[in-house]
Amino acid sequence: MAPARTQSARPAPDSYESHFEHTALFEFSTVINSSLDPQFIFSHILLTIMGKMLATKGLAAIEKASHEFSVEMVKGFPREFVGQMVHVRKLPRSMMDVRKMNSTRYPCAKFFKKIGVRMVLPMFIADKPIGFLAFGERFSKKKLQTREITYLRSLANISATAIEKSRTVEQVQHINRKLDRKIQELNTLFDLSKEYGSLLDAEKLIRLLVFSLLGQIGVNRYIICLRQGSDVRIAASKIDGALPQAELLKTLFKLKTTSLVENLSMPVVQNARDVLVDLKMALVVPMSLQGENKGLMILGEKLSNQPFVETEFEFLSSLANLAIISLENARLFKEAIEKQRMEDELMIAREIQKGLLPNVLPTLKGIDIAATNISSKQVGGDYYDVIPAGAHRYVLAIGDVSGKGTPAALLMASIQASIRALVPLNLSLSELTGRVNDLMCENTGGSKFVTFFWGFVDTEAMTLNYVNAGHNYPYLIHADGSIRRLDKGGMILGIMKTSTPYEEETVQLRAGDLLFLFTDGVSEAMSRESVEYGEERIEALLKSDGGSSAQDIVDLFHKDILRHAGGAQQSDDITMMVIKRE
Amino acid sequence: MSDFKIAQRETNNVNVLELKGYLDAHTAPKLEEAFQQLLKSDRTRIVVNCRDLSYISSAGLGVFMAFIEDVREKSGDIKLTNMSTKVYNVFDLLGFPLLYEIFKDESEAVKKFNDKK
């Protein structure tokens, strides 16, 4: 043990230096490893080595790609060197004097000489080049000793690890940031889909879409347009200038993928492209649903002036598709609600109509009577009635209210109420009709009208006293086959107050006489080929009748109309009434 | 459901909105309405205090984007303050610090408004 003690007690001058160097290396290592800032690291490396070497110029470069080195920092060299790329085909393994570099082995030597580099100190980790340090002439012009070179190499090695560490951390931070952005994008989609799940208001959907776009992408100019049938509607926009024509936007629906405006090359979109360029728009994102383009999000430049990147395209596409599904759902939902509302309303109209029409017709002495009403889908305003009005008198009525659905049904109800109230007044049919017309004009203000035929049947006198207020002329077919149309009366009800009294007529009902009352739903019943049933066909069928009952005749017409329609849906009610003197 | 509240007060001629809770697609319309009200009555010196804001989504950030131009056109501004690290990270990630002034404390933002005069 003793010799060792002696050695440590009186170290050789060499050991002094060695101890000093170790301490310096340790300190150097501590300092440059304490920071992750590459600028700080480069600066410290250069200053330390320049101090050690007594060099006035130093330069640090790191490898960016294979054989390509970028100058990161200079001390004493012109500042313009920073950021320059240096191609170095081969890096010396150790510190090397540029003058000793063989220019065939080291083609970079020429460049180094030109800029005044004297020594090149490579930085390796294992065999992997990290970068190099380069220095100008030593102030002392003295040749470096082996010991000094070894020391400098140690510094370079420590530097290499520190630089590599800082670069790795930088890369991790960069990747982390990219990941964070990705997570943020996913959060945005998640946030929106959660909200969209419970949202059926198209306007609100669009607004949230816009907010997400503005927030996530950082744009402030946009046009969102949606296809509506063959049209294009702008649902939201914020741009500097006039909105592009819908026709122009329509051409952009040909795009299948997210495209930068500057890359729009299809000839058909060139006009649209020019307009978008003028508006400083940058990107077009199709909103597609099941492969069909239903809308477009057109975005302006980002406020950060950063270009759009490929990964954002994916996000924007997902956002667009998510939005269009919800918008489509909202549209379908609205349609369904609307349809349901109409169905409900029609149901009410049908109920009113059913309640108005007589369930069972009264039996008239010596007269056979039958009637039917086939309500159309939309419920027209047809009405018929047979009301007892005294010992052997009955009111017959048939009418057709303008319009359809509940409003028509309600008007029909008010007419029925007024005739039932007025009939007992013992007025002439002409006067009664005038009163009904006046009441109706007061109620509707002339906005609705009714074609109306009515009359009194007297089963003792066997007469029909009638007024025809603009209704399809009923047929009176005599037993001998001759036909009369009952056309006396006046204006349709509801247009204007009665000024000229309604004309009335009384006709005799002889044995075998037949009265056929109908609404235009009969004469205008449509076939699949859009051919009307027509009055000729009514007449022909009436003439063909033999001794069948009123109900038989109604049924006969019903069947014949159905045959004519051939399954075509009828837009109007079909109503008829047959009165036959036995 | 996510909860979000806005309290509004005025201090030194500056309108302060205190946001509380979750600002996401569901609650964004509330903030939109608050900004609309301020803008309508020309109160455009706005400080948004985010001390009790626990979360912000892109849709929430979008509301700030949607109004900033209109507010600045009326020579006002929207300044943000008292953000938690979590909330700040989202702002930072989406590049907002370049577009908005963000302060550690509400008083600094209020002061900035009044210094300008």
How do residues A398-457 score in pLDDT, each as one tens digit? 999 888 888 888 888 888 999 989 988 889 999 999 999 999 888 887 788 999 999 999
- The reported pLDDT for the residue numbered A195 is 85
Domain count within chain A: 3
- Give me the phi and psi of A391, to 5 degrees please: -55, -50
- The reported pLDDT for the residue numbered A14 is 67
Q: Is the CB of residue A201 less than 8 Å away from at least one CB of chain B?
A: no
Q: Are residues A403 and A301 in the same domain?
A: no
Q: In this structure, what token pair is assigned to residue A477?
A: 């077919």
Amino acid identity, position A332? L
Amino acid identity, position B93? L
Q: Are residues A139 and A230 in the same domain?
A: no
Q: How many CB atoms lie within 10 A of CB A230?
A: 6
Cα distance between residue A471 and residue A433, in whole Å: 13
Contacts of B94 in chain A (CB under 8 A): 184, 215-216, 218
Instruction: List, in order, residues 6 or more apart from A542 with CB less than 8 Å away.
Output: A475, A477, A483, A514, A516, A553
Whether residue A493 lies inside any domain: the answer is yes
How do residues A120-174 score in pLDDT, each as one tens digit? 999 999 888 999 999 998 888 888 888 888 888 899 999 999 999 988 998 998 9
Q: Are residues A322 and A282 in the same domain?
A: yes
Q: Residue B46 — pLDDT band, cuts 50, 70, 90?
A: very high
Q: Do A210 and B61 touch (CB under 8 A)?
A: no
Cα distance between residue A322 and residue B25, in whole Å: 14
Smallest CA–CA distance, residue B47 to chain A, in Å, is 19
Smallest CA–CA distance, residue A106 to chain B, in Å, is 45
Q: Is the CB of residue A51 less than 8 Å away from at least one CB of chain B?
A: no
Q: Do A188 and B58 touch (CB under 8 A)?
A: yes
Q: Are residues A303 and A361 in the same domain?
A: no
Contacts of A187-190 spanning 24+ positions with Cβ under 8 A: A187/B57, A187/B58, A188/A212, A188/A215, A188/A216, A188/A315, A188/A319, A188/B57, A188/B58, A188/B59, A189/A315, A189/A318, A189/A319, A189/A322
Q: Are residues A201 and A164 in the same domain?
A: no
Whether residue A208 lies inside any domain: the answer is yes
Give the residue from A254, A295, A291 showing the smallest Cα distance to A273.
Answer: A254
| Residue boundaries of the structural domains of chain B | 4-108
Q: Are residues A419 and A561 in the same domain?
A: yes
Q: Are residues A514 and A368 in the same domain?
A: yes
Q: How many CB atoms lie within 10 A of CB A338?
A: 10
Q: In this structure, what token pair is assigned to residue A219?
A: 């744009």
Q: Do B58 and A210 touch (CB under 8 A)?
A: no
The ipTM is 0.89
We report the CATH number of the domain holding residue A258 as: 3.30.450.40
- The reported pLDDT for the residue numbered A5 is 47
Whether residue A232 lies inside any domain: the answer is yes
Amino acid identity, position A87? H
Q: Residue A568 — pLDDT band, cuts 50, 70, 90?
A: confident
How do residues A388-409 score in pLDDT, each as one tens digit? 988 899 999 999 988 888 888 8
Q: Is the CB of residue B89 less than 8 Å away from at least one CB of chain A?
A: yes
* Residue with more model confidence, A380 or A39: A39
Cα distance between residue A501 and residue A21, in whole Å: 131
Q: Is the CB of residue B112 less than 8 Å away from at least one CB of chain A?
A: no
Q: Are residues A379 and A242 in the same domain?
A: no
Whether residue A190 lies inside any domain: the answer is no
How do residues A237-281 score in pLDDT, each as one tens digit? 999 988 998 888 999 998 889 999 999 888 888 889 999 999 999
Touching B: A residues 301-320, CB under 8 Å: 303-304, 306
Query: Could you tell me if A318 and A293 are in contact, meaning their C-beta atoms sit under 8 angstroms apart?
Result: no
Query: Could you tell me if A579 and A457 are in contact, meaning their C-beta atoms sit under 8 angstroms apart?
Result: yes
pTM: 0.62
Q: Taking residues A226-235, what's their average pLDDT? A: 89
Query: Could you tell me if A525 and A563 are in contact, meaning their C-beta atoms sit under 8 angstroms apart?
Result: no
Nearest to B25 among A212, A218, A303 (CB): A212
Please list, residue by residue across B96-106, b when 16 or more beta carbons sit within 10 angstroms of its beta carbon and e when fewer do.
beebbebbeeb
Q: Which residues pair with A242 in a beta bridge?
A: none
Whether residue A150 lies inside any domain: the answer is yes
Amino acid identity, position A440? M
Cα distance between residue A489 and residue A433, in whole Å: 9
Whether residue A179 lies inside any domain: the answer is no
Query: Could you tell me if A28 and A155 are in contact, meaning their C-beta atoms sit under 8 angstroms apart?
Result: yes
Whether residue A555 lies inside any domain: the answer is yes
Q: Is the CB of residue B101 less than 8 Å away from at least one CB of chain A?
A: no
Sheet strands side by side (includes B101-103): B4-11, B14-23, B45-56, B77-81, B101-103
Q: What integer best gives the mean pLDDT of chain A?
A: 89
Contacts of A220 in chain B (CB under 8 A): 65, 69
- Give me the phi and psi of A223, to 5 degrees please: -135, 130
Amino acid identity, position B30? K
We report the CATH number of the domain holding residue A575 as: 3.60.40.10
Q: Is the CB of residue B76 less than 8 Å away from at least one CB of chain A?
A: no
Cα distance between residue B27 and residue B3, in whole Å: 8
Query: Could you tell me if A316 and A288 are in contact, meaning their C-beta atoms sit under 8 angstroms apart?
Result: no
How do residues A457-473 score in pLDDT, each as one tens digit? 999 999 999 999 999 99
Query: Could you tell me if A495 and A449 are in contact, meaning their C-beta atoms sit under 8 angstroms apart?
Result: yes
Architecture of domain B4-108: 2-Layer Sandwich (3.30)
Q: In this structure, what token pair is assigned to residue A374?
A: 């086939």
Torsion of CA A404, A406, A408, A411, to 10 degrees: 180
Question: Cα A488 vs. chain centroid, distance in angstroms?
Answer: 59
Cα distance between residue A76 and residue A51, in whole Å: 13
Residue A545 has pLDDT above 70, yes or no: no
How do residues A88-130 score in pLDDT, each as one tens digit? 888 898 888 888 888 888 888 888 888 889 999 999 998 889 9
Q: Is the CB of residue B85 less than 8 Å away from at least one CB of chain A?
A: no
Q: Do B25 and A195 touch (CB under 8 A)?
A: yes
How do residues A483-506 score in pLDDT, each as one tens digit? 999 999 999 999 889 999 999 999
Smallest CA–CA distance, residue B48 to chain A, in Å, is 16
- The reported pLDDT for the residue numbered B29 is 92
Cα distance between residue A167 and residue A175, in whole Å: 12
Q: Are residues A574 and A496 in the same domain?
A: yes
Pick from A268, A300, A333: which residue ends a domain?
A333
Q: Residue A12 — pLDDT band, cuts 50, 70, 90?
A: low
- The reported pLDDT for the residue numbered A11 is 54
Using the 8-state DSSP alphabet, how is residue A114 labeled? H
CB-side neighbour CA atoms (13 Å) of A471: 33
Q: Is the CB of residue B21 less than 8 Å away from at least one CB of chain A?
A: no
Nearest to B94 among A195, A210, A215 (CB): A215
Domain that holds residue A482: 357-581
Instruction: List, in order, residues 6 or more apart from A56 with CB less than 8 Å away.
Output: A50, A76, A136, A137, A139
Q: Are residues A449 and A510 in the same domain?
A: yes
Please list, residue by residue across A287-297, b when 16 or more beta carbons sit within 10 angstroms of its beta carbon and e when fewer do.
bbeeeebbbbb
- The reported pLDDT for the residue numbered A447 is 80
Give the residue from A439, A238, A401, A219 showing the smallest Cα distance to A312.
Answer: A219
Q: Are residues A365 and A316 in the same domain?
A: no
* Residue with more model confidence, A459 or A36: A459
* Range with lowest mean pLDDT among A64-68, A142-146, B11-15, B86-90: A142-146
Q: Are residues A275 and A231 in the same domain?
A: yes
Q: How many CB atoms lie within 10 A of CB B40?
A: 8
Q: Is the CB of residue B30 less than 8 Å away from at least one CB of chain A?
A: no
Place of tokens 């066909």: A537
If you count residue pairs, one on A and one on B, with CB atoms under 8 Å apart, how many are there? 87
Q: Do A215 and B64 touch (CB under 8 A)?
A: yes
